[in-house]
Structure 1
Amino acid sequence: MAQVYVSIGSNTDREVYIGRCLDALDANFEKLALSPVYESVPVGFDGDNFYNLVASFKTDLSVGELSKKLKMIEDDNGRCRTSPKFSGRTLDIDILTYDALIGKIDGVTLPREEITENAFVLWPLAELAPKARHPVLAETYQQLWLDYDKEKQSLHPVPFVWRDKDLSA
């Protein structure tokens, strides 16, 4: 089984759609683990702030099958695919890593570049998997976060509870 990390974000009815996403991931995948939840300003457009977190789980699905499954979860939660790339959304789920695979696999680029570019991906990933290593850079996510320019993006932890589990930092 592959170890997968995905980023999750929502800026529309954030608590509702993040909760629904976690319910769907828990129903479809094994050994679901979750980072704390963070609030971030939108990147690339003006809009409502996002809630973001990272989840890890195990799967037997291929990268392509996993991508389709995650898009289905997004679609089931009202994701509009005709909106501009940089716009608000009910739910956004992106594959960050799939084991240590590198390159374009089934149309998915691994590892996802946003890991090192966006605080809303790197900080929760560093919280969830501090000792795991970036497949290309070979540095731990904890070290990448320590080296990250924290002035680059506004991000802060928020209180969040899912199924009586406190996902607050």
Structure 2
Amino acid sequence: MTETKATTRAWLSLGSNQSPQCHLAAALRELRERFGELVVSPVYRTRAVGFDGPDFLNLAVGLDSDLDAVELDRWLHALEDRHGRRRDGPRFSSRTLDVDLVLFGDEVREGPGHLRLPRPDLVQHAFVLKPMADIAPDVRHPLQGVGLAQLWAGYTGPRDLEVAPDLPETPDSGPPASP
């Protein structure tokens, strides 16, 4: 009898402003190879936040992970590194690939350390919240207790996003995910 390892639904935010179509499409391929079927949001173009630089392309992804949150976060950092992500420059700077673990089931992690769940960016930036609300409207924020579509409806920050063309090889992933 073979044991099946339990999986947890993870929600990611991806962005790039250096050859973004190339890096984001490659990241989606690698995520599919490792985790299987993905739920993929539309792609949005947004201005760089915190510095002057080229616009970013941003999207959100849902996947089922057999890794725990810390292991998945490490895997995502290695994915960024494979795509030339530099960590020795300013925090706000151009990026080949930025992949953040935003939600991991209903897990909450606060305090010291790199990994905070839910990621605070989820409710702070339209480029994280809008794509997430597109693909997971009924998923509830573990601390605020409301769905992502409701959070987007009440979002009062700048909504300066525009839908960008789909990335190469990113077929429509189907209907939004259920909670």
Structure with the greater alpha carbon radius of gyration: 2
Aligned to 1:37: 43
| Structure 1 consecutive aligned stretches of length 4 or more whose deviation exceeds 2 Å | 104-107
User: Per-residue deviation at 1:153?
Assistant: 4.3
User: Per-residue deviation at 1:161?
Assistant: 3.4
User: How far apart, CA to CA, are the structure 1 residues paired with 2:169 and 2:19?
Assistant: 17
Aligned to 1:20: 26
Aligned counterpart for 2:124 among listed residues 117, 125, 129: 117
Unaligned runs of 5+ in 1: none
> Match for 1:50: what amino acid?
F
User: How far apart, CA to CA, are the structure 1 residues paired with 2:56 and 2:44?
Assistant: 8
User: Per-residue deviation at 1:90?
Assistant: 0.2
Aligned length: 166
Aligned to 1:137: 144
The 5 A counterparts of 1:80-95 are: 80-95=86-101
Aligned counterpart for 1:66 among listed residues 72, 75, 89: 72
Are the aligned partners of 2:23 and 2:96 in contact in 1 as well (CA < 8 Å)? yes
Aligned to 1:149: 156
User: How far apart, CA to CA, are the structure 2 residues paired with 1:54 and 1:64?
Assistant: 19
Unaligned runs of 5+ in 2: 1-6, 174-179
| Partner-residue secondary structure (3-state), 1:132 | coil
Are the aligned partners of 1:130 and 1:142 in contact in 2 as well (CA < 8 Å)? yes
Aligned to 1:49: 55
User: How far apart, CA to CA, are the structure 1 residues paired with 2:172 and 2:139?
Assistant: 23
Percent of residue pairs identical: 36
Deviations 1:50-69 (A, max 9, x none): 00000000011111111110
Aligned to 2:4: none
| Partner-residue secondary structure (3-state), 2:23 | helix
Cα RMSD (Å):
1.6
User: Per-residue deviation at 1:104?
Assistant: 3.4
| Partner-residue secondary structure (3-state), 1:85 | coil
Aligned to 1:163: 169
- With the length of structure 1 as denominator, give the TM-score of the two structures: 0.93
> Match for 1:37: what amino acid?
V
Aligned counterpart for 2:133 among listed residues 120, 126, 133: 126
Deviations 1:11-66 (A, max 9, x none): 00010000111011111113311000000001111100000000000011111111
User: How far apart, CA to CA, are the structure 2 residues paired with 1:19 and 1:145?
Assistant: 26
